[in-house]
Amino acid sequence: MPTEVRERVSILIEEAARIERESETAYLELGRLFPRLSAEMERGAANGERSLRALASLAETGLEGEGSSFVKAASSFFATLRERDSSFLARINDGISRLGALEQIIARVRADSEEMEIISLNAMTVALKSGSEGKAFSVITDELKRLSGRTIGLTDAVTASGRSLLDFFARLRNVLAELDDFQRDFFATIDRTLGSGLDEIKRDLAGATDFFSTLLAEARSVREPVLRVMGEVQLQDIVRQSLQHVGMSLEEARAASEGPKDQAETAFVAAVAELTESLIEDIVGKLDASAGSFGADMDAVSAIVGESERKRLRFLGGGSASGSCADTGAFQSGSGRYLKLKRDVVDMASRLTDHVAGLDGSFKGLAALLSRFQNIVVASRIEVAKTKALAGVSTTVGEMITLTDRIEADVGGAMDTTKDFTRLASEALGGYSANGSAEGDRSGGEGERLVSTLRRVEEDIGRLSGAQNSLRCAIEEFTLYTEDFIALIGRAGEELQRLRGLNDRLRAVGAGLGELKASLRAGLGPDDAGVESERMRRMVERFTIFTHKKAAGAIGRFAVEEGGEAGEVTLF
């Protein structure tokens, strides 16, 4: 038989042997991959269950009960406190508004004192012209001039004090406005942080629990295709046996090709090539069907994994539990500023009361001078009445009386205003800093209760912040599949592609056998194509797959004992 036939058969034998070795390597790798894939699948499910348990335990720690009741109590206390503070600020502002009239009063007293000084100079001139008869009156007018000068000097001091006081009023008003604005925002923030923050955590927690419970149930559907792949009949032994049959047959063909070139040997080699081609077609067909099933299952796994991961990442990116967090540092800063503003207001209001008291003392000094004015004016009237030479100054004396009455009225009004403010401020300050809680409990000061309440709020904000962080961590750490699971899915896909490549090579071997069969039979006549049945029968006695024996019997025209049919071949 030509050397060419032997070489072609040898090449086919070597390729079939390589495919057998490489397929076994691929199957062994898949055999190692899928138990690990199953283990990682279960580990991912366990991680998801653990995250759900973490969410469930978070719902049971500090989000109900005493915390909620304290939020309501604190909110009520702060509302009452702000209302009382606002009342205090309004009373202080009202008092400041009343004090604003002092500037005009002081200006009128000064103007009247200056006019009194001018009038006294005019009266003194008349007294000097009257000679000895106006001597007594000149003494009176001199005293009047001196008192007018003192009044002017005192009003200068009072004016300076008044301006200083008005500047202080402006600063206090600014602090009062700042406190009012700040405490409104501060208490609203506390309400929002503790009340709304608590509700927000509950909503986020419930939403995350529902979402991840549903997602975990969806993710568990990956088990079905994974277990289906693992549950398929492992094809490794059947492929190995089938390829061994191919090798046995080709070895018989090579041995026959090494013998003498005769029609019987050629017919036998052609028959073996036909049988081997049939075996390869059977292997390729079963591998194609199994690879298709395997690929569909792996595609299903990849689709489930991909969709679950997309949903998880979309949920994480949606901002759940990532809103405004309770910030103990910001609260400490805010409460410190709030308490400082309250202390500043009390301190400034107390100092204002002291300033007003000092101004009241200045007005008392003016009042004392006014009593001297009254005495001098009375003496002036008596002197004018008994001295005819002074009859011309009677009008001047009348003006002096009018000015004195006006100054006296203004000073009296100023004293009433300062007394009213001092009383109002003292009452407001007394109520503002009085002992006792908002409910009238005299066992402790309101300031003490405020500090303790703020401290408790800070603790609750700390717990709230911890709950928010725990929720965020539980959500961010929620995983459905481990990194190894994802990696193993990829490696399984690579092995699938490798098996598909081997199948293509098997097709090439089958095609080569078909060409060999055709070329051999082309040289045989109709009477020379028969095959020695016994020789073919002996060759297939070593076959372990019944369908392969039947294929050989059909080609060699010999009977094959009935046996168990080979089962459906699937990829493992």
Q: Which has the higher per-residue pLDDT, 496 or 320?
A: 496
User: DSSP string of 425-487?
Assistant: HHHHHHHHS-BS-TT--TTSBHHHHHHHHHHHHHHHHHHHHHHHHHHHHHHHT--SS-HHHHH
Q: Are 277 and 329 part of one and the same domain?
A: no
Q: Are 232 and 99 part of one and the same domain?
A: no
Q: Is 240 buried (19+), middle (13-18) or exposed (0-12) by CB count in 10 A?
A: middle
Q: How far apart are CA 158 and CA 107, in angstroms?
A: 10
Return the residue matching tokens 């001098």.
376
pLDDT band at 322 (very low <50, low <70, confident <90, very high): very low
| Domain carrying residue 197 | 81-217+325-476
Least confident residue range of 34-43, 71-80, 372-381: 71-80
Q: Is residue 572 part of a domain?
A: no
Q: Is residue 562 part of a domain?
A: no
Q: Are 195 and 335 part of one and the same domain?
A: yes
Q: Which has the higher per-residue pLDDT, 230 or 499?
A: 499
Q: Are 185 and 279 part of one and the same domain?
A: no
Q: Is residue 568 part of a domain?
A: no
Q: Are 54 and 115 part of one and the same domain?
A: no
Q: Is residue 68 part of a domain?
A: no
Q: Are 356 and 436 part of one and the same domain?
A: yes
User: DSSP string of 35-55?
Assistant: HHHHHHHHHHHHHHHHHHHHH
Q: Are 486 and 543 part of one and the same domain?
A: yes
Q: Are 391 and 472 part of one and the same domain?
A: yes
Asked which of 460, 476, 492 is the last residue of a domain, the reply is 476
User: DSSP string of 72-141?
Assistant: HHHHHHHHHHHHHHHHHHHHHHHHHHHHTTHHHHHHHHHHHHHHHHHHHHHHHHHHHHTGGGGHHHHHHH
Q: How many domains does the chain have?
A: 2
Q: Are 332 and 465 part of one and the same domain?
A: yes
Least confident residue range of 212-226, 278-292, 333-347: 212-226
Q: Are 494 and 517 part of one and the same domain?
A: yes
- When the pLDDT of each residue in the chain is averaged and rounded to a whole number, the result is 77
Question: In this predicted model, what pLDDT tens digit does every residue of 450-494 receive, in sequence order?
Answer: 777 778 777 777 777 777 777 777 777 777 778 888 888 888 888
Q: Are 524 and 389 part of one and the same domain?
A: no
Q: Are 511 and 427 part of one and the same domain?
A: no
Dihedral over Cα of 308, 311, 313, 319: its sign: negative
pLDDT band at 527 (very low <50, low <70, confident <90, very high): low
Asked which of 421, 449, 476 is the last residue of a domain, the reply is 476
Q: How far apart are CA 363 and CA 120, in angstroms?
A: 22
Q: Is residue 320 part of a domain?
A: no
pTM of the model: 0.52
Q: Is the pLDDT of residue 511 over 90?
A: yes
Query: Among candidates 335, 234, 242, 344, which has minimal Cα distance to 290?
Result: 234
